[in-house]
Chain A
Amino acid sequence: MKTYIILFFTIIAIVIFNTGCNFSNDSNQIENDSLNNIDLNGEHSKKVKKIFYNVPSPIEMTAVIQKSGTEYKPEILNSYKFAGKYIKVPKQALILGVYGSDLSYVRLFDQIQLSINYLSSIKKLCDELNIPEEQGSFAISRMETNMDNRDSLLQIITETYASADLYLKENERGNTATLIILGGWIEALYISTTIVDFDLEQNKAIINRIAEQKYSLSNLVELLKSYPEDKDLQEYLPLLEDLKLKYELVQIDYVKGNVVTEKDKKLTTINSTAITKMSKTSFEDIKASILSIRNKIVNI
């Protein structure tokens, strides 16, 4: 009888264990039935077992700001001093993403002291999120000696966020990693829409980059959908769906060109062109939506 009781509780424990893990499982790796007819190698159709969705990093998104010559506006950022005011884990993860974008922005203007301040706040949040020092913020200890140039800082930011993402997914906390991505993407778009003047010709590259987020937004929405049981992520889904509706009015006309592969360089160049059309009204609508989501994120 005792054996059966042990057996019963073992099975229950296993079921709970699995449910718990699935809840926070690295489920941006979802199974998908809609994508079939994969014809690799000319064989029978194969079903896609896993689909991953990537969102451009804040560094990629903000790179265009540097070239546009826009004025430096640190006052629009979420202050590094607020780090200690975020108590709950989901908020801390979102703000970790926000600070990543803020840091990417100040880095572009070579603001060394402010960069150190943001990195210290990032370290604090990593600690709060139980991301171990050697994984999530090991790079911080190097900052004093390595902050002399923009490239070193890029390395530190990249290592810090990549290690945090890896650690969280390694520990079945993919939902927390997704909150960081969400916070970072929204903040980068908030910075871009806030610093830009729609009517200025020299801002055209940033305006185009904002319009092009139509693609990344779709990936982000799918990423959030892959955590259906995470209420914190699902809370943002309707807001992103609403933003997606506004992005529907952004038109990207894509003209395919030739593809050139240089075997010796191991490089393929895709010579396509894209014409992006976004009206000022659409821009203002998108900007307002982004501001609203951003305020919800940074609100203490």
Chain B
Amino acid sequence: MNSILKKVAIVAMAIVFPFIVNAQCKGFTKKECMPSLKPYVYNGQLNSAVLNEGDVAELLLTFYSGQDYRIFVCAQDMLGNIEFKLLDTDRNTIFYNKDHDLVKFWDFKSNSTQQLIVQVRVPVAEVKSEIVQSGCVSILAGFKE
């Protein structure tokens, strides 16, 4: 009976665990990421998720003409340096942080209002391991009036 209960507990943990991790991810974003966006004004929409190594995520957003923007990609240390690109809707690369020492944030200004895509990728660990690394990644957008 004990063995069955143990199995039930393990299964329950496996199912509930992602939700706990997800909540922790939001907490991480609040503590570790949001303060770094200043002096830009946070757009108020949280874009965070638990990603595995090799995963790609995208954020679609609008840049208004004449307004300054900061994109800040924040991730837990165990994931390594996150790559991010700014793409136009034809998927042409406007900015790639790999060309700039994998910097975590960059500022942008557009002379016309346009739809843009922030694409992030979690690097794959160089040393192969049976355990896939996963952690919280947040993409924050801030603007200046």
Contacts and interface: CB of A to CB of B under 8 A. Distances in A.
Contacts of B57: 29, 48-52
Interface in A130-146: none
Interface string B52-66: 001111111111110
A52 B47 contact: yes
B65 A274 contact: yes
Contacts of A200: none
A219 B115 CA distance: 9
Interface of A: 3-4, 6-7, 10-11, 14, 17-18, 21, 26, 28-29, 35, 38, 40-41, 46-57, 59-60, 63, 154, 158, 161-162, 165-166, 169-172, 177, 181, 208-209, 212, 215-216, 218-219, 222, 254, 256-257, 259, 261, 263, 265-274
A263 B46 contact: no
B114 to A, nearest CB: 7
Contacts of A172: 19, 22
* Interface of chain A: mostly helix, strand, loop or mixed: mixed
For chain B, give the interface size range: 35 or more
B11 interface: yes
Contacts of B32: none
B45 A268 contact: no
B83 A40 contact: yes
A11 B98 CA distance: 46
Contact of B85 (A11, A17, A35, A40): A40
Contact of A162 (B44, B47, B61): B44
A52 B56 CA distance: 12
B113 A267 contact: no
A266 B106 contact: yes
Contacts of B141: 54
A181 B45 CA distance: 9
Interface in B126-145: 139, 141, 143, 145
Nearest to B62: A215
A63 B67 contact: yes
A112 B3 CA distance: 66
Contacts of A270: 63, 94, 108-112, 114
30 contacts: A6-B5, A7-B4, A10-B12, A11-B8, A14-B15, A18-B15, A29-B57, A35-B58, A40-B83, A41-B83, A46-B54, A48-B56, A49-B49, A50-B57, A52-B139, A53-B59, A56-B61, A57-B44, A60-B67, A60-B143, A162-B34, A162-B42, A165-B45, A169-B46, A170-B27, A181-B45, A215-B113, A254-B114, A261-B95, A269-B108
